[in-house]
Structure 1
C-alpha cells in the first residue's frame, strides 16, 4: 500500500535531448509540482530519459511504488502552437531519429502482443478547458507520434490497464510546445491546472475536439 503521504499527482517530463541544455517538459512539471504542493495537492515530479524502454520502466516503477490518483506525463512537441492533451497511444516504435542511447527502432511494437492502441483515461477536453481558461492555447491532439513520448504514453496506459493493483489510477499524456510559443510560467500554470482538472473531473466535457484531417 502507498504511504499516507503518497502523491495524489505524479507528473513526468523528459531530460534535455539532442544537444539541448534544457527540456520545456521537465521545466514545466517541476514548476507545476511546486504550484500544486502550494495548493495542498501532494505531487511528485519525475524526469525521464529520452530512451525507448527505460523511460517506461522508470515510470512504471514510480507508479507502482506510489499509486497516485493521476499520472500526467508530458513531453516536448516542437512546432505545436499550444499545449495538447493526447487522445490515443499506439503500439508502435518508428523512430525518425535515434533516442538518447542511439536506439533507432523501426516498425517495432511498444509491447509485444499488446493491443493496437489505448485511449487516455484522463478527461482530455476538461484539460483543454483548464488551459484555455487561463489564457494558454490548448487543444486535443490525435497523435502522440511514434517516438519516446508515445512509447511512455503507451507503456503507462498498458500498465494501468493490466495491473489490478493500480485500479482507479488514471493517466495520460500532454505535449508542451517550445517556450517561445508558451512561456515557462504559463506552461507550469497550465499543467498544474490540467492536473487539478484531472483530479476533479469524473466525466469529460462533451464538446468538439476532433479534426477533419
Structure 2
C-alpha cells in the first residue's frame, strides 16, 4: 500500500446550457469537448477526467438533476476505501461581461435572480438552503484558490480570484455543490469564463486543460494541508 503512491484524483466537470441573453454558452462547448481535447493533449499522471455534464441553466427546477449528477460520482466510489476517495467537482459558468477568467472562492446562501431561469423561476432574496440559515451565510471552497490563480497567471492567462459568484444560477449550483462536498468528503470549485468573443475558444480549452494540470492536480497532490 505504501509503495503504490496516492490514489488518482478524479475530476468531474459541469457547464451550462443557454440562458436569457446568452444564446450560446461557452461552457457548454468547453465541457462537451473536454474529454476529446484531453485525450489528444494527454491527461496529467494521476488525474482522471470523470463525468462531463451540461446542466440546465435553472435553479430549483433542476435541483434533482444536479444532485443526481453529484451523487453519481460518490456512488461509483462506494466500493472504495474512504481514504482513497479523491474527487473534485469543477463547475464552469459564463460571465458575459467579463474580460478575464475568475476562480470563485465562495458562494452565498442567496438566490436573487436578475431574470427568470430557463424553467421560469425568478426568486428574490430567497435562501438557497433554508436550513442553513440566513441569506448572508457563506460557504467557501477548501481548495487553494489564490495559489491556483497565481499558477495560471504565470502560464499567461488573464485570471483573477473572485469572492462573489453573483446570485444567479452559477452561485446557486456552487452553493449546493460546496454543501454536498462538505457532507461527502469531496472538493468543489467554480470558475467563471468570458464569452468566446472576448477570449477565443481554443484559449479557453487550453485554460480548462491547464486548470486540470497546473492547478488542481499539482496543488491537490502536493499540498498536504488539503487532506483529501
Q: TM-score range by the shorter chain?
A: 0.7 to 0.9
Cα deviation digits, residues 147-169 of structure 1 (max 9, x gap):
0000000000111112xxx32x2
- 1:130, 1:15 → 2: CA distance? 29
Paired residues, number: 195
Match of 1:83 in 2: 101
- 1:47, 1:173 → 2: CA distance? 14
Cα deviation digits, residues 44-78 of structure 1 (max 9, x gap):
21100011124443232222212362110010111
Q: Are residues 37 and 8 of structure 1, via their aligned partners in 2, closer, same or farther at CA, if it must alter by over 3 Å? A: farther
Match of 1:28 in 2: 30
- 2:39, 2:198 → 1: CA distance? 26
| TM-score normalised by structure 2 residue count | 0.77
Cα deviation digits, residues 85-111 of structure 1 (max 9, x gap):
101100000111111111110010111
| TM-score normalised by structure 1 residue count | 0.82
- 2:32, 2:156 → 1: CA distance? 20
Q: Are residues 19 and 177 of structure 1, via their aligned partners in 2, closer, same or farther at CA, if it must alter by over 3 Å? A: closer
The answer for unaligned runs of 5 or more in structure 2 is: 1-7, 75-85
1:37 offset after TM fit, Å? 3.9
Match of 1:44 in 2: 51
Q: Which moved more, 1:195-204 or 1:16-25?
A: 195-204
Q: CA RMSD in A?
A: 2.2
Asked if the contact 2:139/2:175 (under 8 Å) is kept, the reply is: yes
Asked if the contact 2:22/2:96 (under 8 Å) is kept, the reply is: no
1:130 offset after TM fit, Å? 4.1
Match of 1:194 in 2: 211
Asked if the contact 1:72/1:195 (under 8 Å) is kept, the reply is: no
> Which of 153, 167, 173 is the aligned partner of 1:146?
167
- 2:149, 2:96 → 1: CA distance? 19
> Which of 55, 61, 64 is the aligned partner of 2:68?
61
1:178 offset after TM fit, Å? 1.1
- Structure number with greater Rg is 2
- 1:158, 1:200 → 2: CA distance? 24
Return the structure number with greater strand share. Answer: 2
